[in-house]
Amino acid sequence: MKYCSDCGSEVELRVPEGDDHPRYVCGTCATIHYQNPKLVVGCIPEWEDKILLCRRAIEPRYGLWTLPAGFMENDETTQQGAARETLEEACARVEVGRLYSLFNLPHINQVYLVFRSRLLDLDFGPSRESLEVRLFREHEVPWQEIAFPVIRETLGLYFRDRTQGEFELRTGDIVRLEGGVRRYRVSIHGDRAETRIQAA
Ligand code: ZN
């Protein structure tokens, strides 16, 4: 951020009095511009024993597969956002069900919320954001071509839970590690907690 969205003057990055985080503060009108994490909301659209994935038509990770998900908008609920993203990316209509996973991604200031959802019909297809949209059985999932670690983790947990016939809310953290090679520390919370280092 360079300029104040209230008055147009330059802002400076500093820790305001009584605060403990650096903020963009306007030198003219003194407005403090708080920046907080963004919510990414998405679906696992289910049809019989298959799930729907989209192959990205946009950067980042052009050409790789992902669940329909995107930034939540103002004036909508998380469920509405997840359904909207599914319609936009996959041209698919879903009935959004239970929240399945919550992942913190502090290195990019995002929180991912993914809902299980029921695909209402098979009338789906590519969109401006997706080159290809299709249903996958578990053994067909292109694990080496999944766009984002958070999606790979979510799908991994999902199929494990489905095999065991029990879906609970799964939560975890994915943190990118410093250094040249892209690596992440994945921490899954809960009864079956685990932490491991994962290459991208
Ligand atoms: Zn200002």
* Whole-number pLDDT of residue 62: 97
User: Residues 114-154: pLDDT tens digits?
Assistant: 999 999 999 999 999 999 999 999 999 999 999 999 999 99
The verdict on 11 and 90 lying in the same domain is no
* Whole-number pLDDT of residue 191: 85
Ligand 1 center to residue 22 CA distance, Å?
17
Q: Tokens for 54, please give them.
A: 């989209």
The verdict on 27 and 46 lying in the same domain is no
The verdict on 2 and 73 lying in the same domain is no
Q: In the chain, how many domains are there? A: 2
- Residue 190 structural domain: 38-199
CA dist., res. 64 & res. 75, Å (int): 30
User: Residues 149-196: pLDDT tens digits?
Assistant: 999 999 999 999 999 999 999 999 999 999 888 899 999 999 889 999
SS3 per-residue string spanning the chain: CCECCCCCCEEEEECCCCCCCCEEEECCCCCEECCCCEEEEEEEEEECCEEEEEEECCCCCCCCEECCEEECCCCCCHHHHHHHHHHHHHCCCEEEEEEEEEEEEHHHCEEEEEEEEEECCCCCCCCCCEEEEEEECHHHCCHHHECCHHHHHHHHHHHHHHHHCCCCCEEEEEEECCCCCCEEEEEECCCCCEEEEEEC
The verdict on 51 and 78 lying in the same domain is yes
- pLDDT above 80 for 69: yes
Q: pLDDT band at 64, cuts 50/70/90?
A: very high
Ligand 1 center to residue 20 CA distance, Å?
21
Sheet holding 32-33, edge to edge: 11-14, 23-26, 32-33
Q: pLDDT band at 95, cuts 50/70/90?
A: very high
The verdict on 85 and 12 lying in the same domain is no
The pTM assigned to this predicted structure is 0.93
CATH number of 6's domain? 2.20.70.10
Q: Provide mean pLDDT across the span 98-123.
A: 98
Angle (CA) 148 198 172, round 5°: 70
* Whole-number pLDDT of residue 199: 86
CATH number of 184's domain? 3.90.79.10
Ligand 1 center to residue 7 CA distance, Å?
4
* Whole-number pLDDT of residue 192: 83
The verdict on 124 and 147 lying in the same domain is yes
Ligand 1 center to residue 17 CA distance, Å?
17
Ligand 1 center to residue 33 CA distance, Å?
9
Quick check: bond before 60 cis, omega within 30?
yes
Ligand 1 center to residue 73 CA distance, Å?
25
Ligand 1 center to residue 25 CA distance, Å?
8
The verdict on 23 and 106 lying in the same domain is no
Q: Provide mean pLDDT across the span 85-106.
A: 98
The verdict on 26 and 119 lying in the same domain is no
Ligand 1 center to residue 24 CA distance, Å?
10
CA dist., res. 18 & res. 198, Å (int): 38
CA dihedral 160, 163, 166, 171 (to 10 degrees): 10
User: Residues 18-49: pLDDT tens digits?
Assistant: 999 999 999 999 999 999 999 999 999 999 99
Ligand 1 center to residue 76 CA distance, Å?
29
